[in-house]
Amino acid sequence: HLATSLPLPSERDHLRPRIDLIVFMIDIKSKYSLKNVEASLAHVDASFFLGKVCFLVTGVGRVNDCSIETNAVCKLGKTYCSPVLFCELELEGVRAATAQRLLRILEICAGHVRGVSALSFVLLMRNSDDD
């Protein structure tokens, strides 16, 4: 499901399946997209932040057009205990690889992988913080 911002329009509530993963896409060329994501985060229920949220930063291939600092995004990831992925959608290879990573994360969040749950992501984040 694609949405431009949160909260989701209530008129479609009855048509929506269970949400397993929320990917917030931030276009590194647009400060507006970061602001939009920050505003939308306020509408997410706290339970999602146990591994069911991830940030995807796009447009990183065009170094000269960056409007957002990577520090700001990484800080966002730390604050919300969620992983941050960087990718460039215009490169087919990177696009495919990123899609596969997201799919894998989604499988875990939806409970399709035995022995691993969304909480594992939170633990992974914690570990990298402590060094």
Partner 1 sequence: MDETVAEYIRRTVLKIPRDEIKTMLQKWGFLSEAQLQNLNFHQIKDNISQEVVQLCEENSADIKQAALLDIIYNYIYQDKRIWSVYQMKKSGEELEYFDITDFKKKFKRRIRSTLKNVTITFKEYEDNAIWIRVAWGTPHKKPNQYKPSYVVYHSQTPYVFISASVLKSNMPLLCQALIVASNYHDIREMELRSHSLNSLKDIVFKRYSQNFQTYTAKPLQGGNIESQNADRRIVQENRSEKERIYRLNQEAFGSGPQPKLEFAQYRLETMFKSDPKMDVLDKKEPFRCLVKFSSPHLLESLKSLAPAGMADAPLSPLLTCIPHKARNYFKIREKKGSFPESFVSP
Closest CA to 31 of 2, 63, 83, 72: 72
Asked whether position 43 contacts partner 1 by CB under 8 A, the answer is no
Asked whether position 2 contacts partner 1 by CB under 8 A, the answer is yes
Sketch the per residue contact string, 74 through 93, with partner 1: x for CB under 8 A, - otherwise: --------------------
Local structure of 15: helix, strand or coil: helix
Sketch the per residue contact string, 3 through 42, with partner 1: x for CB under 8 A, - otherwise: xxx--xx-xx--x--------------x-x----------
Kindly write down the DSSP assignment for every residue of 85-131, as one continuous string: EE--TTSHHHHHHHHHHHHHHHHHHTT-STT--THHHHHHHHHHHT-
Shortest Cβ 2–partner 1 spacing (Å): 6
Residues of the shown chain interacting with partner 1 in the complex, contacts defined by CB under 8 A: 1-5, 8-9, 11-12, 15, 30, 32
